[in-house]
Every structure is written in C-alpha cells, then in structure tokens.
Structure 1
C-alpha cells in the first residue's frame, strides 16, 4: 500500500506561508503563485540538506558571516541578523539550511520534537524577535534550558558515576557497565544523601538545644496537598540557620491532622530539642488560639509561641498594594528589591504615608501586616 510521503512539518510550514501570502492584498494572483512555488521548493530543499549543527556541545553553534543569504520575495525579503545571538543566547544558526534552531530544545527535548526550531529550522526572518520571544516563554523551552544547564554542570563537575567513584575513593569499584543513570537508582542515591543531611541537621539542633518550626501547606501539580515543614535554629557559632525538612502528603486539612503530621515528621527525624517558636500563615486552621495547629502543638511544647510568618505578611502587603496600584503589576519586584526593602523598613515615615495616601491605599492595610 502506498503511504503518504508528505512531511507534516513541511506541510505545516507551507500552509502557514500560504496564509501569510493571502494576507498581502496588494499582490496579484500570478505573483502569489510564483511566491508560493518558490517557498515550497525552498523549504523542500531546506529539509533535505544535511544539518551542520552537530550534537551536544557546551554552547550553540553561532557562526558570524560577512553576509547571510536572504529568504522570501518582495517586501518579505529578509536575512539572518547576528545581533540576535545577544538577545537570544540559546539560538543557533545553520549555514547549510540558512535557518534558526533552538539549541536546548533540539538537544535536550523533554517532549516529541515538533515545530520549526526543532526539526527544519525557522527561516522566516520577518518578525523573528516576536517568534523567538514567544518560544522562550514556553514551559517546554524553560525545562529544556534547565536540562542544558545540568549538562554543562556535569562537564565541569563530572557525571554521577565519576562522583560516586571519587567519593568511594576506589574502595568500592562499580562494575564496568554501571552508569547509575536509571531513575530508581538515582532516587535511591538522592534519598540516601537526603537522610545524611537530615541527620546532620538534627544533630546540630540537639547541640543547640532550641529551635523553632515553620510550616505551610501547598497544592502540587498533581492536585495533592503537601505540608511543607522547615526548622530554624542558631548553631554553636551563633549563626542562624534555616533548613527545609520535608514535604508531607496530607489528606485532611484540619488542625488535628496537620498537628499530628508536624509532630510525627519532627520525631521521625530525631528533632527533639526544645521548640521555642512556631511560624505559620494567618489561616484560622493554623493560628486559631482555641483549636488551631499552634494551640494543639503548644500542649506538648509550652514554650512554642506563635508568630505570623513575616514573609507571608509581606506577601499580603504586596497583594493589597497591587489592588490599588494597577501599574505595579507590570513591575519586576526582583529588579527593585532595594526599593521595596527601604519602603518596608520605613513604612511609618510621613513621606511614605503621604505617598501611600496619594494612591488612596489605606494605611491600616500596611500597619496590620508590617
């Protein structure tokens, strides 16, 4: 039986370019046919040409040429611009195909390869910045970039097998065919390393004698409620330390269930020093003074006073401020961290209060939380 030999990626590209041609109302029918035939032939030749980008390398192939060949006809005639390398450091250029590829998505794909930047290359150099910006904001691209960074780190620090051999100092030589790359084995190694770290944290807490506990629940991508538990203490050098202990899957979100989960997690990790404080968010199930987690936990830890988590309070302040300042939603707080810190430290000053009143933000909203 004769199968359809058409390539879905090539067909998709040709259809898209035909659509763009139809939008050009100032081009005649004969001219449209010439352009469509030229684009179809160009893309067919482009797909059959050998790719000159190689395999996994520390960085993308980004050749600098004196001139780049152009594609398209008439007003759509464009060529590759080398300054795009600076704006999009993850792109690579194929000389043989005269096309742009995404280096992390081509070499470290987490999903089946589809689209221009994976297989045949992106050759429509008109409005290419908009296309690359949209691609760079996708979740798939972000995941592939993380894998790329891990690959570069392994080139510097060595693979898991190399690290394992170095740690054992050749006392336990693994078999020659052992690569330690299977997911179950890597999970076991990570679990073993995590247990060692938890034992070290527990020993430091016992040596310090006092600690405080922090907890909050969140829902993961699988819609399961995870109870996050952290501890904070001061070590023997008077250095405050804060560590994550574990995520605990919980079914019931009532105070009784959360308290049992909190106590059992601390006991299972041998964290049995004197607890002097507990910090949660402002939810009633956590802060309730009659039947909340903080009250139930204090039955066995009399010195564990409750404090509303300052990080959560700051988050409430920012949310409330954004309700009154629509333009603040477009502000990158990370780039203006110093300004936010200065504002929070001096929020009682008359100058800041006058600034707040100019935007009609209730002063009480900030005083409640800060």
Structure 2
C-alpha cells in the first residue's frame, strides 16, 4: 500500500510545450495530459491561437455532384476559434477541444472536436456550432477567457498588487529584456559557470544587468539584491522565456513579410559542436517592395538525416507558423542524396505536395566538392584523397614542418632559376605551402592538388626527414606509409586524373558564383563542361597517360608494364585476370569520368536548364537584349498553379506592352539584374500595370539559384554554440540563432511587445 502511495506521489513528467502538435488532427485529448499540467497546455494553445494555415490550397470535395472546399474567409469570420487540419482537410474548434469535458453531439460539438467538420456546403453549421449564450461552445469560450485573465485567478485575488509593486516589476522586467536583447544581438552566452554572489564569473546576463543598474538609479533600486528573492527575473527559465519571445516576434515579422505569397525553401543539415544533427531552414521570397530576401526561420534537431525525418521536421515548422507547402516554388539543398534524391529524397517528397517547387542545384555550394564526392565513389580515388588528407596533417602539424617545406621549395626554385629552367618576374615564384582543402571555398581541392604537383619533390624530402628524425612515433609511421604510397604509379595516375577533372570544372565553378545576369552563360558553360568531359573520355587517354609517364620519369616513380597482369594491392596473391592497361584505362579513367558525367546530368537536368534559360530572358541588361517572349510564355507553362490557361493567353499580350513600356522609360536604364528590375517595377508602380509579368518575375527570383544563406547559418551556429556552451538546449539555440542572424528585425521589436508576450506565456507572479 505504501509503495502504491509513493508511486502516486511521483511527479508527472514535464511536457515540452513547444512540441505540442499544431495540426488539430494530430493532438491528443486534453484529458490525456496530467491533471496539474492541463492548464499549461491550454494556455499555450490559446497563446498560439487557432491553427489557420494561410496560403494553403484547400482540397476540393465532391458534395452532391459539386466540387466544394473550405472558404478561407471563414477564418476572418470565426478568427478566434476556427481551425483547419492540413492532414485531414477538415475544420475543428479550438475552444471546444480545450474544454471538451461534457462534449456531446449537440450543435456539432463532437464533429468540431474529434471527427472534424468537412460539409462545406453547410456554411451555417459554424453559427449553429456556436449556438446561443448557453451552448457548450460559448461555455468553453468563457472558460478560455477566464484562464487567460490572470487577474481573476485565486492567487491574484488573494495577492492584489499595488501600483508601486507593478511599477517595480515592470522596471525589473524591462531591464532583463534590454540585457537579453543585447546578448541575442551579439550572439553571446547568457549564463556563467558560477552565478553565486561571490563568484567572479557570474555570466554575461548578470554582469550586464549589474552594469545597467550601476548606470541607472531607478533600475538599481529594484533589481538583483534589491528585488524580492522570488521575483528577481534573472533565473535561467526567465532568460529562455524572454529569448523565446524575441524569436517568436522576429519569426512573426518574417511570416508577415511573406504575406501569404509564394516563397522558396532552403534546407541543409550539419552537426553542431556537441555532435547533434541540426537542420537549418531559410525562406527566400520577394517582399512588398520588390526586394529579394532570405530569412532564417529556425533550427531543428533531427535524430537522423533521412529524407522522411527532414520532411516531418519541415511539416512541423510549417504547421507552427500556419504555412503551407503548396506555396513553395523553389528548393535549394546541397548535394546529399537524402536531399536531392529523385525518388525518395526531400526534393521529391516536397514536389509531391507542390508540383512547381522546382529543385535547383545550389550554385553557391562548392561544385568542386560535388566533383570530389562523385569521384570518391571509386575506391582508389577515395583512398587517394584520404592519403592527401593524412599528408596535410603530417606536414602541416607544426610550424617547423611548414617552414621546412617552404624553405625546401624556395631552394629548389633558386636552383631552377640559376639553370634557366624557371622564368622570373613580378608575382612569379612566390613562397608556397600546401593548401588545406576547405569545405566552404570554391576550387580548394584543385589548388591543393596543383601545389602538390609543383612541390612534389619538396614534399618527399620533408617526409623523408620526418621518417628519419621525427620525434613523434605516430607521425614517423605515417610518413613511412605516405612515402610508400606517393612513390607508386597509382598515386601519380590518380593525382593527374583528378587534376584534369577538377581543372575542367574550375571555370564552371567560378561562373556559377556570379549573379543572376550570368545565368544564361552559366547554363551554356555547364553543357560545354559536360561535352569536354565526354571528349576527354573518348579521345583524351593517350595525351593523359603521356603526361603521367612524364611526371613519373621526372620524379623517379616506377612505371608498370601495361601489358602485364594487374596485381591488386589488397589481394596480391589473387589473380585479377586483367592487364594493367585495362585496370587504369577502363576501371579507373573511364569509370571516374562516367561518374562525373552521371553526376552532372543529375544536378543540371533538362528541366533545371530550361528554367534558368527562360529566367535569363527577363534580364534587363543592355536594354533587355535577352528578352524572348516565347521563352517567358514557356516559363509560365511550367507554373500551372500560378497561371491559368486564360492568364497564359493574357500574358502573351501583356509581355509586348511591358517590353515597349520599360524600354522607353529612363528609370529602367542601366539595371544590372532581375532583382533590380523587380525593385524598380514596384518603385514606379508598374507592377500594378503588368501584374502577370511581375508575378513571373517573382517566381524567377524565388528560385534559389545562387545563395549561401544556409551555410552562413551554420557559421553563426558555431558562434552561438561553442565548446564552452555545448549544453545549450535545442529550442534555446534556435531562438538565439533566429535573433542573432535576423538582428535587423530584432532591432525593430519593442520592449512593450516582448513584455506583453512574456506575460501571456504563463501565469506570472505579478499581473500587469
């Protein structure tokens, strides 16, 4: 019996209020929550407001032989309680859900709470559901109002605050809000290692609050030690609540900027400092001033990076902010298979819900990484890059070895200059070192391999020195293994093969970084690059292998007899049954180039190329010289959800008038991009005269052709979540990042707005 009582005394597990489902069809019954936590859940749902997905394309349903659907105007008519489930395409009632204690089938209460309402031909059912003042719905409404009216609660009835107490509380809360705003703006941590009074490391929040108090007498009298011990407004939960209020207001401003219009979706995932996989989400849209904007809206922790898990996280984010995937008109991801997969990737899952959400390879993402990743599918090429990585760790492990390599290269250049083998001049023969390949810069692998070829004799010399005289036994062993590998024909072969492949794609990499006015050239360069790769495969073997032989002879590397049997170093005793020529020509040379061609065809397919070519026709450069009416009409056909058949016919006539109008207007002279074109159209109010052209222009600008916003989000994450701050929670991390990245919006949020949201989050000790 005693054991049973102890079990009953156990505290119910805390509920993460931020994880409460937004879609009404996904919620569990309010009575299923622990009794002492139900009011917290109710208050959270009331603070959020009803789930009303703006911009959602409501599904049609055949009723009596007529296709009918939910009317979005009902949201305005019943704004405080009417909800819509995207998952079930049905309507629900928020008030009745929260206080469904006596819900029966009177007035449709049961339909609006459990089964959902979808009889769209019976619009009067909404008013019938509300009923008169004695109805269950209005009774639930009164309970909701009483719950949110804290001043009527028993606690506040017994403890009526005086105006002086409220004033002190407001000053104290405003000071905490100001401090939080500054820390969020700078991406600084809030807490310290020890927040005791005698500690010298209380953390930024308390130290800044202390400094603020020292500069303001009114603040000093009511904060820290001068505040009530149970209401100092400095505890970690208070700090997190204030940060969350700021983040919610910033995100709310972003959603208002989108204004129920179409937008592009940019997603990427990366591990943070504590090895937790985080997914960053950025929206790309055109605001009411015609400006292209990319806004960070949140970071979500995902337990795995499968496409279905990422899709679920995006669904939750969209539901949270009342958005619909039907409004997505562009997708931009990195090259990971779980993102861009044609059949089961995140790209395809979103395309199933929005057929015009075209995926465009993120041109700002390093193409050379795509090339390297594709080549690494070949086992021997993967081994080659692994050994190069080890080399950089061994040679670049200390300043002494770097200096040794630089000095060795300088002496070699002096000898060749004295012999007349090397030219001299301004900018030539500078000191070089091995460049470590980066993952955020273009062409870094290419530069690394170029320098390795130039400095190869010096690298061998430094490795021999490390092997003989190195003090670190592990580095000596690594140097021995590197020397053994670097002096093989296989290394020389793969070094030159990757140099050729990366060299052919280097120009394309640089072209894809340019602004949208270079899109047409970039697309043509993609096709040229693919043709050059194919030409290298078909006709380039002889010249390529001759260069490999020349390098091997110059550096005393043994060259195998191509007619002899190939010996696999992994299984030297097993006969392969193929010659060296077949292995290096077919299994290496042809295979690697085929992998590259396959990767290029996948990333730059016909639909993407057509989109970009059509998009370039809107360019205003050189008095709209690239304008092509047929291509723009074709572009409109690619967006059937945005242009009806009638509108596409109207677009043909409107394009002629538009071109004549803008070419005669001096305000449209010397524009450099279609982004400038959209801005000037709005400034001159010509977007109202040519609405279909402006709509087409916005769809083009939404396509995430060249952006690195998501990568910048992860750079910001490394600032906010550091090694000394690696235990920060996922929600707090997301809130801090939203405020830190979108600090321009943060600066526009007033203290009064934050205080109002903060007070409504939960029941506070003082009611303002």
Query: Of Structure 1 and Structure 2, which has the larger fraction of its residues in strand?
Result: 1
Of structures 1 and 2, the larger Rg is shown by 2
- Higher relative contact order, structure no. (Cα contacts within 8 Å, ≥ 6 residues apart): 2
TM-score by length of 2: 0.22
Query: Of Structure 1 and Structure 2, which has the larger fraction of its residues in helix?
Result: 2
TM-score by length of 1: 0.43
